[in-house]
Amino acid sequence: MDIPKIGLGTWNLRGKECEKVVENAIKIGYRHIDTAQMYGNEKEVGNGIKNSGIDRSKLFITTKLCSPNTTYDLVISGVKESLKNLKLDYLDLVLIHEPYASSIEMYKALEDLQAKGLVKHIGVSNFNHRQIDNLLKNCTILPYVNQIENHIFYQREEYVKYLQSKGIKVVAWSPLCADISKITSNQTICEIAQKYDKTPAQVALKILLQRDIYIIPKSKNSSRLEENLNLNFTINENDMNKLKNLDEGRSLFGWYSD
């Protein structure tokens, strides 16, 4: 199964609320659920998946490995622990959550897990240009994705195109820049949203999709979950250029440059 264009991010979701949001999102129509060991909610995400009643084969589940699971053996055991937490027989995508000194060793373990069928796809997250190039020189299996900060105010146009030219899919974390007020208060975004009879958030997400970037917005609200899926419109070239001009060229979260 290929990764769906729109998924559900689960950062900062906890407990029963996390279970209900995941269950509800799947029932609404989400088929990609993104979690991570670092989030501390894999068990709750797994419960939400189970409670949704949707056949496993129709879902795409992503998790990410982080410290201390940074050696070959710890990656193997860490993925098995994630499978147990999520109550799954396999994972659709496992990422190295951030660059580590042992990233090459970690990635080798992921390659072996993919060969055994425990993981369908492997990739990385938050790798910059230099780190991706180093991985490409040392890997056997091309990273399926690089999940990076990407939103209307940090578009990283050249880096995105570079990754795509290598056959690596780009998944945007925090596609609404974790501050919806920054989007809803922007005059250009609001004017374009009004023109297309959409919300500012929908416009901010759609610009990413039209750049062939995959998105994992997070929301606890059912109406917003539905809104984030309802992106069946096209922003014309003139308006896309206006939105591209909003790029501030810097991370909003302090990540290093490309």
Residues acting as catalytic residues: 39
Q: Look at residues 151, 97, 89 and name the one whose alpha carbon lies nearest to residue 117.
A: 89
Q: Look at residues 125, 116, 128, 72 and name the one whose alpha carbon lies nearest to residue 91.
A: 116
User: In a 10 Å sphere around its CB, with 0-12 CB exposed, 13-18 middle and 19+ buried, how is residue 245 labelled?
Assistant: exposed
Would you state the torsion angle of the CA atoms of residues 197, 198, 204, 206, taken in this order, to the nearest 10 degrees?
Answer: -90
DSSP string, 38-62: GGT-HHHHHHHHHHH---GGG-EEE
H-helix or E-strand containing 93?
strand 91-96
What's the token pair of residue 159?
């880096």
CA pseudo-torsion sign 97, 98, 100, 102: positive
What's the token pair of residue 137?
């020189």
3-state SS string for 195-250: HCCCCHHHHHHHHHHHCCCEECCCCCCHHHHHHHHCCCCCCCHHHHHHHHCCCCCC
